[in-house]
Structure 1
Amino acid sequence: MLEYYWICLIGGVLFAMVTIVFGDLLGDIFGGIFDSLSMDHLDFLQPMVLVGAITIFGGSGIMLSQYTLLDPFLTASVSLMIAIAVSILVYFSYVKPMKNSENSTGFSMKDLVGKIGEVIVPIPVGGYGEVVLKVGAGNTNQIAANLDRLEIPAGTRVVVGEIKDGVLFVFRYEDKEEM
């Protein structure tokens, strides 16, 4: 059984070292495979929590095997309880607070396609105006032109249809309830 504990410990340490050195590269290669596993209701499936549990299981199993007189089944059971307790501690003290703090004011222009905004500077026929859009926790003002080649007065709600050369091409937003 001691060999399994060593495999868990060494595997967890190697995973941590590879993640530290190649973390961003691996994240790009696997394209967020762990993100799809950890949906909102399964946040505890984060790699840090799972691999941490395996590593703690191995380390505590080695320590309990070497320095106590517990039988192998009891050693494995106590190691499992320690691993679960430490994983819960890691999840609530690190993973969950970090997930809640992931807010960014950065955005890509292509993220604006399909967003609803409001015209703040009228858009003349064949000309440019300005729209304000809600992005994340804030707003952004962007240069806009009309896709339909019609004048759009200030205060009109619009939808971003496409983006060309940093200019948002918009059209009027028609709310189904207003019709």
Structure 2
Amino acid sequence: MLNIYWICFSGGVLFALVTLVFGDILGDIFGGIFDSLSMDHLDFLQPMVLVGGLTIFGGSGIMFNQHTNLDPLKIAVLSLMISIILSILLYFAYVKPMKNSENSTGFSLKDLVGKIGEVSVPIPIDGYGEVVIKVGAGNTNQIAANLEKVEIPAGTRVVVGEAKEGVLYVFPYES
């Protein structure tokens, strides 16, 4: 049984080292495999959780085998329980929060239509200025022209009426 523990432990450590060096490539491979199986309800079956649990099982089995006088069945059950508990802890403390934090900061200019912003560089009647619009947790500065052919001074709140060719066409916001 000690050989099985060493195989589990060594395999987990080897996987950790390979992941450290080739992490992005392996993440894409394993991520693609798990995504293609569409296991949304089995979200806890992440490679980090599974391999981490296997490594913990092997490591705790080795430790109990060498430092206690328990019989092999009790060591296996105890190692399995520790592995399951720590894998659950790993999932809820690290994997799930990291997965939930993966959101894109990208946006399209078309997404800004209807948003309220503020003029940072005055917009002349027949020219361009700049507006600041809140997007997600940050702000974006965009080139703007006026939609109503009126001069819009800096500090004026505006609404984005349309977006085309990289320019936001805005009009003054009236509350």
SS in 2 for 1:53: helix
Deviation (angstroms), 1:15: 0.9
Whether the 8 Å contact between 1:160 and 1:170 is mirrored in structure 2 is yes
Aligned equivalent of 2:144: 144
SS in 1 for 2:110: coil
TM (normalized to structure 1)?
0.61
Deviation (angstroms), 1:65: 4.1
- For the aligned residue pairs, the C-alpha RMSD in angstroms reads 4.1
Aligned equivalent of 1:115: 111
Which amino acid counterpart does residue 159 of structure 2 have in structure 1? Answer: R
SS in 2 for 1:81: helix
Aligned equivalent of 1:33: 32
Aligned equivalent of 2:160: 158
CA distance in 1: counterparts of 2:51 and 2:23, whole angstroms: 14
CA distance in 2: counterparts of 1:6 and 1:19, whole angstroms: 19
Aligned equivalent of 2:79: 79
For structure 1, which runs of at least 5 residues remain unmatched after alignment?
174-179
Deviation (angstroms), 1:123: 5.2
Aligned equivalent of 1:23: 23
TM (normalized to structure 2)?
0.62
Whether the 8 Å contact between 1:57 and 1:83 is mirrored in structure 2 is yes
SS in 2 for 1:115: helix
Whether the 8 Å contact between 1:131 and 1:141 is mirrored in structure 2 is yes
Which amino acid counterpart does residue 4 of structure 1 have in structure 2? Answer: I
Length, aligned pairs only: 160
Whether the 8 Å contact between 1:127 and 1:145 is mirrored in structure 2 is yes
Deviation (angstroms), 1:143: 1.7
Which amino acid counterpart does residue 57 of structure 2 have in structure 1? Answer: F
Deviation (angstroms), 1:18: 0.7
Deviation (angstroms), 1:55: 0.6
CA distance in 1: counterparts of 2:148 and 2:30, whole angstroms: 42
Q: Deviations over 1:84-119 (max 9, x none)?
A: 12223334544456567x589x955xx333322335
Aligned equivalent of 2:69: 68
SS in 1 for 2:118: strand
Which amino acid counterpart does residue 109 of structure 2 have in structure 1? Answer: V
Q: 1:52 to 1:171 in 2, by over 3 A?
A: same
CA distance in 1: counterparts of 2:109 and 2:125, whole angstroms: 21
Q: 1:46 to 1:172 in 2, by over 3 A?
A: farther
Q: 1:125 to 1:46 in 2, by over 3 A?
A: farther
Q: 1:161 to 1:45 in 2, by over 3 A?
A: farther
Q: Which is greater in Rg?
A: 2
Which amino acid counterpart does residue 108 of structure 2 have in structure 1? Answer: L
Whether the 8 Å contact between 2:110 and 2:162 is mirrored in structure 1 is yes
CA distance in 2: counterparts of 1:131 and 1:71, whole angstroms: 70
CA distance in 1: counterparts of 2:108 and 2:69, whole angstroms: 61
For structure 2, which runs of at least 5 residues remain unmatched after alignment?
none
Which amino acid counterpart does residue 160 of structure 2 have in structure 1? Answer: V
Q: 1:139 to 1:47 in 2, by over 3 A?
A: same
